[in-house]
């Protein structure tokens, strides 16, 4: 216990010291969240990638135990495969987050890395081998244990990433789960897992003062993906020695908020015809704020919920079959009350969802055809002609595409239509093609239908269009360089 306490304290101090340094580094590198779309709550530029401080603080005290002769430290050598796999896997996930915070990376690339790391963890012994219920003998998954393990690790990793929508929310949610897993680890003599939880808990406590509202730095994907990965992995090992009746239920309840919010997001996007990985403003924290709660009050309310769930998960780890049923019934009732209060259960919205689904599917179909056209674009006018086709589908009557080229001298090319005949009540929104600095290339759209904001469905479509345009411009630039370097002529280029 002394080593666990020292580990927690060292991680806390390391996070307090490292966070300002990481924040300054993120600012210098341009890892800034500029709040350029409607789902952003903060409304001002804030450095992201602050989660790197959590990563460093997590590893700092653990690294010393490889060389410091303590009883707990020797566990690293006795469980070397698991310890090394968690360190290597966590480093890979953190590196993926850094890349995403600095340059952005697609969902497919992130999932590929996450599944590869999850396979490493399965090899190291972090596995889902049985699914238990309070009603009978556990179900042995056999060969299905491998894909279930991969889905669990990747799913929880992304669940923490999705819940990271308000200042301090993901960190506090993770901290509640860490507390539960720490208690369960100690009670079940999983001291290596307890050590990991103590280190992660200290890192979070040291980081949250900088991240709580108003945040001076964000976790970014670096932090949220790393937190989800460590919790997903260690919870598997911790739950193995829980009651047979609740082996996998314990981490599910402890991580109930991010898991539940992720499942609701997937269901919502499937019903509405949205892309599965498209962000929106309908998460549980957005719903609570729509009810009138402030950002701080929303976060504190969700902290309370996660603390309750953490307490229930600890109780479940000690429960027999009958007690498990009672606890799960209570959790289900709590979830039903929360979903009803947040407006998720409204039968009268069924027709509205149907109309939104039809519209979203039509827009997505048009965007797919536009993407194909943009892949074949050879010149900037080709790109503009492709953009003009999709603008009316978005309900806009005016559009301007500004392309800034910085190859030696800065060159700005602009295409536009509709603004010279626009009505005085025109509503205009501008989107950066890269989603970064407002001074970069961008698409400006105007609506004359009386709106005062852009709904999230339209914004998702515009962001996807901007992504396609950016990729087309990158391809055209690459083709120009190829011609300049090799001579000749490129005809019928298709990237």
pLDDT tens digits, one per residue of 184-227: 988 888 888 888 899 999 999 999 999 988 888 998 899 999 99
Radius of gyration of the chain (CA): 25
Q: What is the pLDDT of residue 275?
A: 66
Residues 278, 399 within the same domain: no
Q: What is the pLDDT of residue 300?
A: 93
Residue 244 has pLDDT above 60, yes or no: no
Looking at 343, 369, 403, which one is the last position of a domain?
A: 343
Lowest-confidence region among 31-40, 74-83, 364-373, 409-418: 31-40
Does some domain include residue 493?
no
Lowest-confidence region among 92-106, 124-138, 233-247, 325-339: 233-247
Q: What is the DSSP letter of 188?
A: T
Looking at 317, 343, 369, which one is the last position of a domain?
A: 343
CATH number at residue 415: 3.30.450
Q: What is the pLDDT of residue 452?
A: 84
> How many Å apart are CA 320 and CA 418, to the nearest integer?
69
Residue 135 has pLDDT above 70, yes or no: no
In the predicted model, what is the mean pLDDT of residues 52-78?
75
Residues 309, 405 within the same domain: no
Does some domain include residue 494?
no
pLDDT: is 353 or 86 the higher one? 86
pLDDT tens digits, one per residue of 85-109: 888 999 999 999 999 888 877 778 8
Locate tokens 């690293």: which residue?
Answer: 76
Does some domain include residue 495?
no
In Å, what is the CA distance from 405 to each residue of 399, 402, 438, 463, 470?
Answer: 20, 10, 14, 20, 12
Kind plus residue range of the DSSP H or E element containing 443:
strand 442-447
Q: What distance lies between CA 324 and its chain's CA centroid?
A: 31
Residues 296, 389 within the same domain: no
> How many Å apart are CA 8 and CA 119, to the nearest integer?
29
Judge contact between 204 and 29, C-beta under 8 A. Answer: no
Q: Please, is 345 exposed, middle or buried when counting C-beta atoms within 10 Å of its C-beta (0-12, 13-18, 19+)?
A: exposed
CB atoms within 10 A of CB 89: 23
Q: What is the pLDDT of residue 495?
A: 37
Residues 402, 296 within the same domain: no
The domain of 447 spans 350-486
Mention every residue, 6+ apart, whose C-beta is less than 8 A from residue 481: none
Count of domains in the chain? 2
- Residue 413, classed as helix, strand or coil, is strand
Locate tokens 């589908």: which residue?
Answer: 393
Looking at 288, 317, 343, which one is the last position of a domain?
A: 343
Q: What is the pLDDT of residue 117?
A: 94
Does some domain include residue 431?
yes
Residues 135, 266 within the same domain: yes
| pTM exceeding 0.75 | no
Identify how many contiguous H helices and E strands the chain contains and give both numbers. 17, 8
In the predicted model, what is the mean pLDDT of residues 398-425?
82
What the block records as the tokens of 461 is 């479509």
Residues 356, 339 within the same domain: no
Residues 99, 169 within the same domain: yes
Lowest-confidence region among 102-116, 242-256, 295-309: 242-256
The beta-strand segments (E) located in 70-116 are: none
Residues 296, 369 within the same domain: no
> How many Å apart are CA 168 and CA 380, to the nearest integer?
43
Q: Please, is 489 exposed, middle or buried when counting C-beta atoms within 10 Å of its C-beta (0-12, 13-18, 19+)?
A: exposed
In Å, what is the CA distance from 157 to each residue of 151, 174, 268, 288, 387?
Answer: 10, 11, 20, 24, 35
Kind plus residue range of the DSSP H or E element containing 70:
none
Does some domain include residue 65?
yes
Q: Confidence class of residue 77 from pLDDT cuts 50, 70 and 90?
A: low
Residues 260, 207 within the same domain: yes
Residues 326, 362 within the same domain: no
Of 114, 334, 331, nearest to 233 by C-alpha is: 114
> Half-sphere exposure (CA, 13 Å, Cβ side) for 165?
27
Contacts 24+ apart (CB under 8 A), 434-441: 434/104, 434/470, 435/36, 435/37, 435/104, 435/463, 435/466, 436/30, 436/32, 436/34, 437/30, 437/34, 438/34, 438/36, 439/404, 440/404, 441/402, 441/403, 441/404, 441/470, 441/473
CA dihedral angle for residue 381, residue 386, residue 392, residue 395, rounded to 10 degrees:
-100
- Residue 10, classed as helix, strand or coil, is helix
Mean pLDDT for the chain? Answer: 82
The beta-strand segments (E) located in 133-241 are: 139-140
Q: What is the pLDDT of residue 493?
A: 42
Residues 13, 84 within the same domain: yes
> How many Å apart are CA 56 and CA 5, to the nearest integer?
18
Judge contact between 96 and 229, C-beta under 8 A. Answer: no
In Å, what is the CA distance from 156 to each residue of 165, 221, 236?
Answer: 16, 14, 11
Does some domain include residue 492?
no
Residues 97, 236 within the same domain: yes
pLDDT: is 225 or 292 the higher one? 225
Of 474, 374, 441, 438, nearest to 37 by C-alpha is: 438
What the block records as the tokens of 381 is 């006018």
**Considering the chain, what percentage of its residues have pLDDT values greater than 70?**
83
Q: What are phi and psi of 302, to 5 degrees?
A: -75, -30
Q: What are phi and psi of 440, to 5 degrees?
A: -80, 180
Does some domain include residue 422?
yes
């Amino acid at each position: 216990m002394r080593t666990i306490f020292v580990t927690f304290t060292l991680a806390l101090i390391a996070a307090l010291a490292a966070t300002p340094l990481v924040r300054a580094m993120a600012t210098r590198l341009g890892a800034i969240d500029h709040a350029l779309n409607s789902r952003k709550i903060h409304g001002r530029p804030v450095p992201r990638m602050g989660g790197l401080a959590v990563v460093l603080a997590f590893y700092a005290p653990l690294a010393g135990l490889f060389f410091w002769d303590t009883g707990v430290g020797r566990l690293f050598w006795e469980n070397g495969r698991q310890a090394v796999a968690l360190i290597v896997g966590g480093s890979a996930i953190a590196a993926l987050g850094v890349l995403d915070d600095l340059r952005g990376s697609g969902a497919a690339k992130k999932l590929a890395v996450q599944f590869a790391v999850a396979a490493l963890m399965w090899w190291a012994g972090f596995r889902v081998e049985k699914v238990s219920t309070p009603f009978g003998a556990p179900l042995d998954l056999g060969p299905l244990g491998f894909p279930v393990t991969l889905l669990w690790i990747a799913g929880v990793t992304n669940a923490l990433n999705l819940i990271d929508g308000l200042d301090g929310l993901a960190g506090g949610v993770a901290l509640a789960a860490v507390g539960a897993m720490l208690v369960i680890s100690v009670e079940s003599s999983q001291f290596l897992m307890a050590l990991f939880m103590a280190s992660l808990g200290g890192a979070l406590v040291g980081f949250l003062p900088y991240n709580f509202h108003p945040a001076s730095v964000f976790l970014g994907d670096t932090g949220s993906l790393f937190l989800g990965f460590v919790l997903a992995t260690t919870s598997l090992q911790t739950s193995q020695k829980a009651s047979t009746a609740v082996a996998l239920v314990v981490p599910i309840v402890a991580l109930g908020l991010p898991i539940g919010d992720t499942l609701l997001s997937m269901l919502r996007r499937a019903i509405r015809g949205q892309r599965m990985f498209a962000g929106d403003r309908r998460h549980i924290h957005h719903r609570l704020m729509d009810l009138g709660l402030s950002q701080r009050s929303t976060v504190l309310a969700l902290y309370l919920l996660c603390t309750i769930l953490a307490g229930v998960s600890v109780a479940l780890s000690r429960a027999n079959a009958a007690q498990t049923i009672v606890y799960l019934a209570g959790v289900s009732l709590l979830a039903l009350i929360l979903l009803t209060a947040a407006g998720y259960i409204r039968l009268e919205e069924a027709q509205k969802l149907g109309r939104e689904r039809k519209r979203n599917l039509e827009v997505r179909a048009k965007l797919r055809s536009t993407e194909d056209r943009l892949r074949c674009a050879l010149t900037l006018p080709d790109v503009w002609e492709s953009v003009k086709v999709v603008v009316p589908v978005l309900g806009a009557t005016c559009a301007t595409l500004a392309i800034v080229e910085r190859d030696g001298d800065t060159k700005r090319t602009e295409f536009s239509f509709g603004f010279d005949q626009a009505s005085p009540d025109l509503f205009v929104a501008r989107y950066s093609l890269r989603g970064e600095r407002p001074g970069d290339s961008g698409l400006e759209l105007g609506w004359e239908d009386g709106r005062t904001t852009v709904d999230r469905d339209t914004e998702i479509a515009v962001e996807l269009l901007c992504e396609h345009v950016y990729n087309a411009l990158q391809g055209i630039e690459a083709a120009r360089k190829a011609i300049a370097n090799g001579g000749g002529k490129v005809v019928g280029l298709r990237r």
